[in-house]
Amino acid sequence: MTDPRTGSRWILGDKFEQKYPHLDSIDALWNKKWKFPCERSLYPFHDGKYEDFAPIFETLIKKGIHDGYSVEYTKEFLPTCEDLVKQADKLKDDGKKQEAIDMYLRACAVYRIARFPYINSDLKREAYDAQKKAYMKAASLFECPIEDVHIPHTAGTDKDEGKEVPLYVRFPKDASKSKPCPAVILMCGLDGHRPDNTVRSNEFLERGWASVIVDIPGTADCPADRRDPTSPDRLWTSILDWMEQDGRFDMKKILCWGLSAGGHNAIRAAHTHSKRLAGAVGQGAGTHHFFSRAWLEKAKDHEYPWTALPALREKFGYVSEDEFMDKAQKDFSLVETGVVNQPACRLLLINGTHDGLMPVEDSMLMMEYGTPKEARFFTGLLHMGYPPANGSVYPWMEQVMATAS
């Protein structure tokens, strides 16, 4: 595949061969990549404050701590997190509800960056557990609270799969068994987990939809077997069966939205569960080329905050990075495994054309198989097509919900 505009095999062009400058040091990561979005509370700093992060990164720079996978990196964030939680607790005790919510969410934003890029140690696990605890303190104060639900993994296997699936579930005020509501199953990503999606669940609420937020296989608290490419199918079956039995969901109006690594899951689910979903959104998704050694050897040095291979190797359950690069395409490609030859529900593919982590070619490739797809790609933008991507996702969802029956 060669792009006639660049002469490159990849639409990414010359950037494919580059090592992105933020990977050189913690100083470069902060000043060349993260400082700008942090100042504006953009991804991945939603709900955070610049004044919480800047001193931490100044310390990391001074100490020369660059490896985000390390315990030393995570340690620098925790005192700030704990202080913010204490402030939030006091605000809650003083009856200052909204101020307490905002402060808890600030703590959660710092915890999130502390556990980046992957939960690979006891300390990062502790940071995630503390984030969830702080988040549920905030979520319990929401006008429409978030329920921390653990459902039985009824479709799971006895081998390497947990017995329960943890979900964050949020309903509109008037949802009931006599008035079931539409819902979105939000499939999280490689480093974005259940407590990181308040903005999206708020958007769903505004439209009268429930949200079911779930960690994907190989990440956070997900019980599914990370090494088994078919384990997501069992996960979605357990979740959809529970939703149907619960009675508060309108099962004719269920969408799924997969973010980044979750996009792979959404596209797979659009095919494996086509009769149970009204539609699916695969955003920033890897489907085939992403899993190849040719892509991964370069993509590891692109826009991910640190080299991506350690996180991806663990997420997909391989012993070594070489094993991952050699075997992942055969094991997980939706083309190699034939998933894309099945009928699909309505499927929207979203990404930036200069996504350096998961190639836009993987979304385009889906057009060549099975059921016709819909797509919106953003010229020159990076992974996920941010910031304008959601401006296409929500209207599409609204249209699907309106016509589903």
Active site residues: 260, 355, 383
> What do you get for the CA distance between the two ends of the chain, in Å?
40
According to DSSP, residue 128 is labeled H
- In the sheet that 279-283 helps form, which strands lie side by side, from edge to edge? 146-152, 164-170, 210-214, 181-187, 249-259, 279-283, 346-352, 374-378
Q: What CA–CA distance (Å, rounded) separates 265 from 217?
A: 9
Q: What CA–CA distance (Å, rounded) separates 335 from 217?
A: 19
Q: What CA–CA distance (Å, rounded) separates 25 from 44?
A: 19
Pair type for strands 146-152 and 164-170 = antiparallel
| 166: its two tokens | 């943890």
3-state secondary structure of 100: helix
DSSP 45-75: -TT--HHHHHHHHHHHHHHT---TTSHHHHH
Nearest by Cα to 197 from 286, 108, 68: 108
DSSP 200-231: HHHHHHHTT-EEEEEPPTTSTT--S-TT-TTH
Entry field: residues in the chain: 405
Alpha-carbon torsion angle 164, 43, 310, 299, nearest 10: 130
Sign of torsion over alpha carbons 226, 163, 212, 239: positive
Contact 134, 107 (CB under 8 A): yes
Q: Quote the distance between the C-alpha of residue 130 and its chain's center.
A: 19
Nearest by Cα to 226 from 127, 345, 145, 313: 313
Q: Position of tokens 């797979």?
A: 268
